[in-house]
Amino acid sequence: MAKSKAPLKKKPVEKKSAPVKAAKAAKPAPKAKPSKGKIIERPKAPAKSTLSKSDLEAYRKLLLEKRKEILGDVSSMQNEAFKADSNLSNMPIHMADVGTDNFEQEFTLGLMDHERQILREIQEALARIDEGSFGVCLGTGKSIPKVRLDAVPWAKYTIEYSRLLEQGKVGRNDDDDNDKDSDDDESDE
């Protein structure tokens, strides 16, 4: 015969807590540093351009021509985006046609926005020519190589500084008015 055992009752375990210590003031988190350890000093005031007067005039002419070309493009895109399509006025409207029209309009408006950003940068470049700081990187104060200016005459930064901007290793100057990523426009080289 087996003896039946009564279930054992467990005693509640008392938890002992560690003695309470005075809380220390939280330390501010350290600021992020560039991962390469390379710190770039920004110029306090814009450096003067090292380009000759004839070079500056050639770039001014190039910028004015590009501005005129883009203004014409923006005007024609605007007309295209907002024109009423008269070809389908006699036919019933199909949902796919409406979707295609909406897509084309949104795409054209996006292109117009991109072109307007380039126009702003061209205006800024023309102002830098007048100030005497054209061809000088806004981030480092170093001269922007002529090869870069020939490809993108409205360039604000050297290639090296543009790469650091894209990688988030440096910030934009306060002088850069609401730029999204304007150097994307410069990658068309």
| Structural domain span for residue 155 | 53-83+96-188
Average pLDDT over residues 67-72: 87
Q: Is residue 116 part of a domain?
A: yes
35 in any annotated domain:
no
Domain membership flag for residue 78: yes
* pLDDT above 90: residue 60: yes
Q: Which tens digit of pLDDT belongs to each residue from 133-174?
A: 999 999 999 999 999 999 999 999 999 999 999 998 887 764
What is the rounded CA–CA span in Å between residue 148 and residue 153? 7
Structurally, the chain folds into a number of domains equal to: 1
Burial (CB count within 10 angstroms: exposed 0-12, middle 13-18, buried 19+), residue 55: middle
- Which pLDDT score is estimated for 151? 94
Show Cβ contacts of residue 175 under 8 Å, excluding neighbours closer than 6 positions. Answer: 138
Has residue 105 been placed in a domain? yes
Spell out the residues 6+ positions from residue 31 whose beta carbon is closer than 8 angstroms to its own. none
Per-residue pLDDT tens digits for 79-137: 666 664 544 454 556 666 667 767 777 777 777 788 889 999 999 999 999 999 999 99
Q: Is residue 90 part of a domain?
A: no
DSSP state string for 132-154: T-TTB-TTT-PBPPHHHHHH-TT
In a domain, 8, yes or no: no
Say if 177 falls within a structural domain: yes
- 9 in a structural domain: no
For residue 166, which of 181, 147, 149 has the smallest C-alpha distance? 181
Residue 183 sits in a domain of what CATH number? 1.20.120.910
Helix (H, G, I), strand (E, B) or coil at 160: helix
